[in-house]
Amino acid sequence: MEKRELLYSGKAKSVYTTDDPDYMVLEFRNDTSAFDGKKVEQLDRKGMVNNKFNAYIMTKLAEAGIPTHFERLLSDTDALVKRLDMIPLECVVRNIAAGSLCRRLGVEEGIDLTPPTFELFLKNDALGDPMVNEYHARSFGWVEDQHLARMKELTFKVNDVLKQIFLDGGLLLVDSKLEFGLFKGEVVLGDEFSPDGCRLWDKDSREKLDKDRFRQGLGGVVEAYEEVGRRIGVTF
């Protein structure tokens, strides 16, 4: 598969066309950002770590029957993926209260959420990715009803599969952000799954081992990502 023109460059990844219109190359960079791009740094090895972490997770999800855009690793920082027609919504599932949920509702961090909550956010950097509801999504035509229902179903399936994988590694999956798109009419999990887009705590100490280490200036960001990967079986 030939990597061709740069199609899009985001905060931490770049997307390239290939010689097959149905596939793209996803390049994971060392860039790390938070607070809508207000805090940006380069972290050595991060692109490689997230690429291999994502490949491992996407493979596990595919084995569990969840359709994903991931095809295969191409290099330490590149992956071959299906070209999706992305749906402009982020699906967030929360198992434990943390982050913006605590700020919005004034609840204490660390409260177990039973059942897990499901939230939608509009992908719009200029607006700060605002929270929306299912009626907004339908009324503004961001997604068709059947596709939204499938996204919700897949979000909870992903959550169930990954909660157990991380628990087996002595980790708590606090929350995660998922993005979906359409491939030949089918709803498919896209983007990436790495500690950049979820919260992971040590089960016993509740030490944060995710991007909050960067947001909160705790240090050891890539080392924490690698620790999480090793606990669940990722080979770097």
pLDDT at 33: 87
Tokens encoding 45: 């090895």
One fold for 3-82 and 85-220: no
Beta bridge partners of 34: 39
Q: What is the pLDDT of residue 193?
A: 98
Q: At what angle do helices 46-63 and 145-168 cross, to 10 degrees?
A: 110
For helices 221-232 and 145-168, the axis angle rounded to 10 degrees is: 80
Q: Residue 116's pLDDT band (boundaries 50, 70, 90)?
A: very high
Supply 108's token pair. Answer: 């204490």
The string of pLDDT tens digits covering residues 122-158 is 999 899 999 999 999 999 999 999 999 999 999 999 9
**Domain map of the chain by residue range?**
3-82, 85-220
- Whole-model pTM above 0.75? yes
Q: CATH top-level class for 85-220?
A: alpha beta
Give the up-direction half-sphere exposure of residue 23: CA atoms within 13 A in the CB hemisphere.
16
Q: Where are the alpha helices (DSSP H) in 42-91?
A: 46-63
Q: Which pLDDT value is given to residue 35?
A: 82
Q: Which of 32-41, 101-110, 210-219 has the lowest mean pLDDT?
A: 32-41
228/223 Cα distance (integer angstroms): 9
For residue 227, pLDDT over 80 is answered with yes
- Yes or no: say if 84 and 7 are a contact pair by the CB < 8 Å rule: no
**Fold classified for 3-82:** Phosphorylase Kinase; domain 1 (3.30.200)
> What is the rounded average pLDDT for all residues in the chain?
97
Contact 235, 49 (CB under 8 A): no
Return the pLDDT at 187: 98
* pLDDT at residue number 1: 81
Q: What is the pLDDT of residue 34?
A: 85
Spatial CB neighbours of 106, under 8 Å, sequence gap ≥ 6:
none
Look at residue 39 in the predicted model and tell me its pLDDT.
86
- Note whether 158 and 189 are within 8 A (CB): yes
pLDDT band at 36 (very low <50, low <70, confident <90, very high): confident
What is the rounded distance in angstroms from the CA atom of residue 195 to the CA atom of residue 56? Answer: 13
Band (pLDDT 50/70/90 cuts) for residue 29 is very high
Type of residue at 8: Y
pLDDT tens, residue by residue, 144-203: 999 999 999 999 999 999 999 999 999 999 999 999 999 999 999 999 999 999 999 999
- In whole angstroms, what is the distance from residue 54 CA to residue 176 CA? 13
